[in-house]
Structure 1
């Protein structure tokens, strides 16, 4: 392993050195909360039109195997099953986020761990360990590249999921240090995805997680077969950080991958709202306003540079969403929905998708959205690195004004969703897919299940 540079070796060593017994209690609790949220979303989102399209394509052309697609129970290779399941889990802007990397690790690491674990005959202890390994590699690489990936137009999750999935496989298959390093290195050649969908639309965004997860699994398979990658895949002159983020990351960053550091999985962000996470602080802020929406004269929303690229002025459909992807990435409309009390959750966006929510130019939501001005505040980038915050000033027709600042929206590690609220989200998302007794059984297995339970047995709980 001497051939790998220090940062690259540290990333690989995190995977190989991690054991279940070394996982701190708060990190293990985070992994279980992540599993609860992500599996509900996978099963609950399986019937969405783009989810069914991906499943149909994969049914028509997949490798045989013993891993299973959630809900339907289709058997196929681990890479194919993880591709479908990760797409389901990232399919409706409701999945977990990680503030410091501006990404969504859960759909990747959970899907890879369950599919590969089922294929290998692993138990749930192995699955949880590999989820933590994948999550830590994914987020620690991502944190070093944030917010530069977003500012440059890349979708962090699309890029990082290849590394996360490769780390999951390396842990489950017991790769040595050298093979793990090459699995992560080969993953670089699979990294792709931009955020143009936030302006131009396109359901392909829903599939970014599946693409990255499958490619990360394949990267690990290639490494196991003896294929090698560049030894400076992260820090080299044409490595990940310089090529994608324009950053020069030095050898001192190796300490960021140590097992003595705070585990990022203990700081997961579980979403209460079904839209891009950068909107969430504004949604919370709008709910705090005391003035009447019909008395609003103007709204000024201060935003960070990266946020403006995704949900603000640089999103050309922010003020006139025409499809569901536009709506979930529109700050003016998400603010208006919140202030008008229409909600920003699963049912609201399902209603829009079904044509039951009018957001046309004559609607009260559109009228309020037109009063919103978005102003880039670069100082917020410096003051709140790794956090998406919101600065709101609302002026009313009577000359009064309200100012609200939100730095820790609901669901973040600093302002976590309660277990009761997370359980309520779990049941809400699954209400149309599983009866209450099945939901309760699944939830019990996630929270307090036997660590020696085979993954194949656990996976049966995910069938509809």
Structure 2
């Protein structure tokens, strides 16, 4: 009898908890059970994620993170020469994936998905030389659980001042690493209980555009990896982590009433992760339709000096993070803070016809042409806006001759209504590898690894992608 089992019996461990039911389903699923579409989505996310890791390799926040991590090992932070322990690799890859705000999202109940799960799975499977098939199973299981956990108290974690990526992400990373490492149902149940105590991430980064937002998915990834190992060893975690008196949703969602139906309904048969969306622009997802409107307006060739004002109909749920305080959003203090400024993103889209990595440097954030136009942009709340079920955009431009030009974008490009193709994701990944300073050959090899993941005999092959 293991130590955990003895302890469980001593305290009268009886009945079936949600963590046990979830674990029972996840641990018995084969890759074929998960279906072709779920596998395709996981590979798409892996392509996107690995390119983003390279794109961030020369940034100051990644350099600082690597310098501050003292763990040594044989695992890979993609695009970096120094081998790390598995937790360090998960941390660096997760932070890099999310660092430029160019990673995936889930429509309807917004959260990042791959940035927490994929780095945990890659680290676990590289460290223990599992197969690519194991990795793919873990990726799908973990991303699916992020999607499902995020529907339990939608919006409440943000409202309470926490960053859901760091809370929900730790649970999803635990599912991913646990399934990839072959944990049984009891071990995964213990791991879920442990990961609830590892979850963290406050929203104070919004005040100054601090780097802490970037680290939340990386910390969740390494937490999920560690929770999986502890669950495998029999460390006793609470099985009632999801529904007990002090459960994770109650603690981080405060007064929200959890809806547990999404956790088990259709689990193993229906895949919410098939609806993951990918970003064409390197900024807040809800801003994208507004950027599309500005780029369409740009095509009219009207000089910025002729623009008197721009009014945008917006959802109330966007105001706190993307519009206010409006004076700060008109003049964001850094390129990173500019990614969460609706006026700046729209203005840079007008001038550059894009909102990629090159558009969010500190130099761009000080460009007076861009700031002058951003200062003319205001919002009004549209009570009929569909956010968060749908992301739409609107601009009403008043010109100096009194003419009014209006544009609408009905949905988010990259989402369910207009998804990015595999070819578009490959092109994005190639561009990100080039932005990170590595060669087309490196990009070719990395893409081939992602596309052939299921056939990989040993995930130790990730070591080829140090640079």
Equivalent-residue separation in structure 2 for 1:450 and 1:434 (angstroms):
25
- 8 A contact 1:282–1:392 mirrored in 2: yes
- 8 A contact 1:198–1:325 mirrored in 2: no
1:416 aligns with 2:419: yes
1:206 aligns with 2:230: no
1:20 aligns with 2:20: no
Offset from partner CA, 1:91-149 (integer Å, 9 cap, x none): 11111222233221212211111111011111111111100011011111013332232
1:389 aligns with 2:398: no
Against the structure 1 CA distance between its residues 118 and 232, is the aligned structure 2 distance closer, same or farther, given a 3 Å change threshold?
A: same
Residue 68 of structure 2: aligned partner: 57
Residue 340 of structure 1: aligned partner: 351
Against the structure 1 CA distance between its residues 387 and 68, is the aligned structure 2 distance closer, same or farther, given a 3 Å change threshold?
A: same
Residue 79 of structure 1: aligned partner: 87
Residue 236 of structure 1: aligned partner: 244
1:67 aligns with 2:75: yes
1:368 aligns with 2:373: yes
- Deviation, structure 1 residue 405: 3.0
Equivalent-residue separation in structure 1 for 2:441 and 2:230 (angstroms):
42
Equivalent-residue separation in structure 1 for 2:248 and 2:404 (angstroms):
46
The correspondence for 1:154, drawn from 143, 146, 162, is 162
SS of the residue 1:100 aligns to: coil
Residue 329 of structure 2: aligned partner: 318
Against the structure 1 CA distance between its residues 252 and 440, is the aligned structure 2 distance closer, same or farther, given a 3 Å change threshold?
A: closer
Residue 5 of structure 1: aligned partner: 17
Residue 172 of structure 1: aligned partner: 180
SS of the residue 1:415 aligns to: coil
Equivalent-residue separation in structure 2 for 1:335 and 1:34 (angstroms):
27
- Deviation, structure 1 residue 455: 0.7
- Deviation, structure 1 residue 314: 4.7
Against the structure 1 CA distance between its residues 324 and 258, is the aligned structure 2 distance closer, same or farther, given a 3 Å change threshold?
A: same
SS of the residue 2:384 aligns to: helix
1:269 aligns with 2:280: no
- Deviation, structure 1 residue 318: 1.3
Could you tell me the TM-score, scaled by structure 2's length?
0.89
Equivalent-residue separation in structure 2 for 1:33 and 1:48 (angstroms):
24
Equivalent-residue separation in structure 1 for 2:306 and 2:14 (angstroms):
66
Against the structure 1 CA distance between its residues 200 and 11, is the aligned structure 2 distance closer, same or farther, given a 3 Å change threshold?
A: farther
SS of the residue 2:99 aligns to: coil
SS of the residue 2:398 aligns to: strand
Against the structure 1 CA distance between its residues 326 and 358, is the aligned structure 2 distance closer, same or farther, given a 3 Å change threshold?
A: closer
Offset from partner CA, 1:363-417 (integer Å, 9 cap, x none): 221111111112333432xx44433332332222333323333342221122112
- Deviation, structure 1 residue 282: 1.2
- 8 A contact 2:334–2:365 mirrored in 1: no
The correspondence for 1:42, drawn from 44, 53, 56, is 53
The correspondence for 1:115, drawn from 123, 133, 151, is 123
The correspondence for 1:444, drawn from 430, 445, 448, is 448
Offset from partner CA, 1:278-331 (integer Å, 9 cap, x none): 211211122233652432222222222332121112577312211122111111
Against the structure 1 CA distance between its residues 401 and 3, is the aligned structure 2 distance closer, same or farther, given a 3 Å change threshold?
A: farther
Offset from partner CA, 1:207-227 (integer Å, 9 cap, x none): 111111112222222323333
Against the structure 1 CA distance between its residues 187 and 232, is the aligned structure 2 distance closer, same or farther, given a 3 Å change threshold?
A: same
- Deviation, structure 1 residue 37: 0.7
1:100 aligns with 2:108: yes
Equivalent-residue separation in structure 2 for 1:190 and 1:53 (angstroms):
23
Unaligned runs of 5+ in 1: none
- 8 A contact 2:169–2:220 mirrored in 1: yes
- Deviation, structure 1 residue 86: 1.2
- 8 A contact 2:177–2:228 mirrored in 1: yes
Unaligned runs of 5+ in 2: 1-12
- Deviation, structure 1 residue 35: 0.6
SS of the residue 1:32 aligns to: helix
- Please give the root-mean-square deviation of Cα atoms over the aligned residues, in Å: 2.3
